Amino acid sequence: MKEATFYEVIDKEKKVVQCALCNHRCRIKEGRRGICHVRENQEGKLVSLVYGRLISEHIDPIEKKPLFHLLPASLSFSIATVGCNFRCRHCQNFEISQYPRLKSGQIPGTDRTPEQVVEAAKQQGCQSISYTYIEPTIFFEFAYDTAKKAHAAGIKNVFVSNGYTSPEATREIAPYLDANNIDLKAFTDKFYKEVSGAKLQPVLDTIKLMKELGVWVEVTTLVIPGWNDSDGELHDIADFLVNVDPHIPWHVTRFHPTFEMTDRPPTPANTLRRARDIGLQAGLKYVYTGNIPGEEGENTFCPKCGEKVIERTGFYAVAKGLEGDVCRHCKEPIAGIFA
């Protein structure tokens, strides 16, 4: 347990606080918790109930995040606590993201220090630490303390995020954050409200701000039949990303029925191929199809000469056509962090 950052007392008499860590900006009465269920008002002081309480510690290939332009074929020490500030009906990790909400506020986990996480990453030969599986913003204090120590040790830091981090928190973490894969779940407020319990605009703002602050950004859209798979919506997402930076990699990935969304079939492969074509035609340099191993859309192609520079099958990657950070064939720079 640790006092939270980014909050203020807005009613001293009633001990009401307002959290400013994410864009929900919850007003929390004494004895209550925010939407994330892991930040609690204790007698007018907001505390994080998950500081150092890790529920997951795994070694993953960086491609699993997915991050395709950050140290390909490297390992990432991946951590998470319980809790989340979204309530996605299709969450793949709902057992931990929704744990406090579904289990009467319980906060399970194993106590870890930032130093222990960094040391574990070193011992396992990981070149990065990923704050992932749930929304890392909700355990911001621990992620921040760990990221500072990892940065000093030459280990890169990665968020896998829903993009709902407040501008204040984004600016605070950015100097220590190397990359962020942000879910752009759809391009309508209807989807965000009905499926995730949030709004679209703050996510768009976070993508822009992360880029402005020099964080490497990749974007993932889980394409769900009947929800966000129309040509119009896919065009809207692609056009938005092109206007921010055409070199942002866009991952269009396959949906599988899970949690509270079992009324939809898995995404057809042709839908993902169509989404990839839309992204490339809009002007994006790198568009990837995900969750269908063996697809040509898993590979990275030089945007100038078209040669394959990184070949992938599932989470296995080989950068045969990459020389440093340029295409071996035509010397065109490939956007990303490769050293």
pLDDT on residue 128? 98
pLDDT on residue 84? 98
- Work out the average pLDDT over 305-325: 95
Return the residue matching tokens 């057992």: 95
Same domain, 34 and 116: no
pLDDT on residue 299? 98
CA distance 62 to 126: 10
pLDDT on residue 136? 98
pLDDT on residue 296? 95
pLDDT on residue 35? 98
- Work out the average pLDDT over 119-126: 98
- Please name the amino acid found at residue 187: F
Same domain, 66 and 44: no
Same domain, 140 and 41: no
- Work out the average pLDDT over 287-304: 96
pTM: 0.97
- Work out the average pLDDT over 144-158: 98
How confident is residue 279, by pLDDT bands cut at 50, 70 and 90? Answer: very high
Residue 270 lies in a domain: yes
Residue 313 lies in a domain: no
Same domain, 18 and 165: no
pLDDT on residue 257? 97
Same domain, 105 and 199: yes
Retrieve residue 59's tokens: 């070694």
- Work out the average pLDDT over 139-145: 98
Confirm if 119 and 227 have CB atoms less than 8 A apart: no
Residue 128 lies in a domain: yes
Same domain, 238 and 166: yes
- From residue 177, alpha-carbon distances to 85, 238, 246 in Å are 20, 25, 21
3-state DSSP assignment of residue 257: coil
Confirm if 206 and 248 have CB atoms less than 8 A apart: no
CATH number of the domain residue 280 falls in: 3.20.20.70
Q: What is the DSSP string of 115-145?
A: HHHHHHHHHTT-SEEEE-SS-GGGGHHHHHH
How confident is residue 318, by pLDDT bands cut at 50, 70 and 90? Answer: very high
Instruction: Check the CA dihedral 184-64-23-31 and report its sign.
Output: positive
| Residue 122 exposed, middle or buried by CB count within 10 Å (0-12, 13-18, 19+) | middle
pLDDT on residue 278? 98
- Work out the average pLDDT over 14-42: 98
Residue range 53-62, pLDDT digits in tens: 999 999 999 9
Retrieve residue 141's tokens: 């204090």
pLDDT on residue 190? 98
- Work out the average pLDDT over 128-146: 98
Q: What is the DSSP string of 150-196?
A: HHHTT-EEEEEE-S-B-HHHHHHHGGG--EEEEE---S-HHHIIIII
**Domain with 239 in it:** 53-298
pLDDT on residue 132? 98
CA distance 76 to 159: 11
- Work out the average pLDDT over 150-173: 98
3-state DSSP assignment of residue 281: helix
DSSP state of 64: G
- Work out the average pLDDT over 226-235: 98
Please give the mean pLDDT across all residues of the chain: 97
In the chain, DSSP finds a helix count (H) and a strand count (E) of: 9, 21
Same domain, 102 and 36: no
- Work out the average pLDDT over 307-326: 95
- Give the total number of structural domains in the chain: 2
